[in-house]
């Protein structure tokens, strides 16, 4: 694996852990695709730093479990201005 990919995977994981970021937010911050973020954190990072990978995966699993709530809140916010 190329060194810049390893570094990107570590930085992405640290960003996810420190800011409780979603895959989408991380992809936007680093200018890469969501699938690249996911592959970096779940597959590549496991080989580089398993402990960091486990911590990042916990945050991503929590975000995945809560995403339906965020979607509902976004829809509510979108239409709350129309109801007034």
Query: Residue 67 sits in which domain range?
Result: 3-83
Contact yes or no for 56/17 (Cβ under 8 A): yes
- Residue corresponding to tokens 């929590």: 62
Q: What's the mean pLDDT in 69-81?
A: 80
pLDDT at residue number 23: 94
Task: Indicate the DSSP class of residue 32.
Answer: -
Q: Specify the pLDDT at position 24.
A: 93
Query: DSSP per residue over 38-68, as a string?
Result: HHIIIIIHHHH-HHHHHHHHHHHHHHHHHHH
The count of C-alpha atoms lying within 13 angstroms of the C-alpha of 27, restricted to the half-sphere facing its C-beta, is 11
Domain count, the chain: 1
Least reliable range by pLDDT among 24-28, 32-36, 62-66, 79-83: 79-83
Residue 63 clears pLDDT 80, i.e. is over it: yes
Q: Say if residue 70's pLDDT is above 90.
A: no
Per-residue pLDDT band at 84 (split at 50, 70, 90): low
């Amino acid at each position: 694996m190329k060194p810049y990919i390893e570094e990107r995977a570590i930085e992405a994981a640290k960003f996810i852990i420190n800011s409780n970021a979603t895959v989408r937010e991380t992809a936007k911050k680093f200018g890469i695709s969501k699938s690249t973020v996911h592959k970096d954190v779940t597959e590549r990072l496991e080989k580089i730093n398993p402990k960091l990978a486990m911590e990042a995966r916990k945050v991503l699993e929590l975000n995945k479990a809560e995403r339906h709530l965020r979607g509902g809140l976004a829809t509510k916010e979108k239409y709350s201005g129309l109801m007034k």
